[in-house]
Amino acid sequence: MYWSVQNGANPIQSSLGGSVHVDGTSPQLFTLSGLFASQRVAADSSGAYVMTSRGIVPFGGGTLLTGGTYAMALDSSYVYWSGTYTGVGSIGRTARDNSSNTVLANNLNNPMGIAVDGTNVYWVDEGAGTVMSVPLAGGAPKTLASGQNKPWAIAVDATGIYWTNNGDGTVRVLAK
């Protein structure tokens, strides 16, 4: 289990994070000094990452990865992100070793939640009211759903694409 906590007294100074095995063993605690507020945590069998207001950092510290600052998802090679890395809304990926950074979609309104499967990257754009995808290898973004009421979070599994709409409190699903 991983977590991050923003330092409420002075979030620009440091953020706190930690990990513990589900059985309560091997607790670890660390501080992300100078990286601004921690916002998200993503983990898989290869590692964990904390998204801060300045970028993405491996859990426990390390080199700040280039990338967005809204949401992130992982696969075995990349950290996928949404944010304003290019000065406008964008979706991209950064190699886990920070050797490459690729913008997959740009000039977006307000991309928020992001998810990935073996074929595509999926995201919701709160400002545009859309659910979108782009192939992992890049290409033209595809609109999967439009007219959504402030879509915020997204998840995928083998059969569907799921998202929440903050504007009306709904959870939607689209079959793959």
Closest CA to 38 of 12, 68, 9, 20: 12
pLDDT value at position 11? Answer: 37
- Where residue 70 falls among pLDDT bands split at 50, 70, 90? confident
pLDDT value at position 39? Answer: 66
Q: Which residues contact 99 (CB under 8 A, 6 or more apart)?
A: none
Is the pLDDT at 106 greater than 70? The verdict is yes
Min mean pLDDT across 23-37, 49-63, 101-115, 135-149 is at 23-37
Is the pLDDT at 171 greater than 90? The verdict is yes
For the chain, residues classed under CATH 2.120.10.30 are 66-176
- Where residue 84 falls among pLDDT bands split at 50, 70, 90? confident
In DSSP terms, 116 is beta-bridged to 121
Q: Is 19 helix (H, G, I), strand (E, B) or coil?
A: strand
The tens digit of pLDDT for each residue in 114-164 reads 999 999 999 999 999 999 999 999 999 999 999 999 999 999 999 999 999
- Strands 71-74 and 120-125: what pairing? unpaired
Report pTM. Answer: 0.78
Q: What is the CATH number of domain 66-176?
A: 2.120.10.30
Residue 110 has a CB neighbour count (10 Å cut-off) of: 17
Distance of alpha carbon 151 from alpha carbon 140, whole angstroms: 21
Distance of alpha carbon 71 from alpha carbon 54, whole angstroms: 12
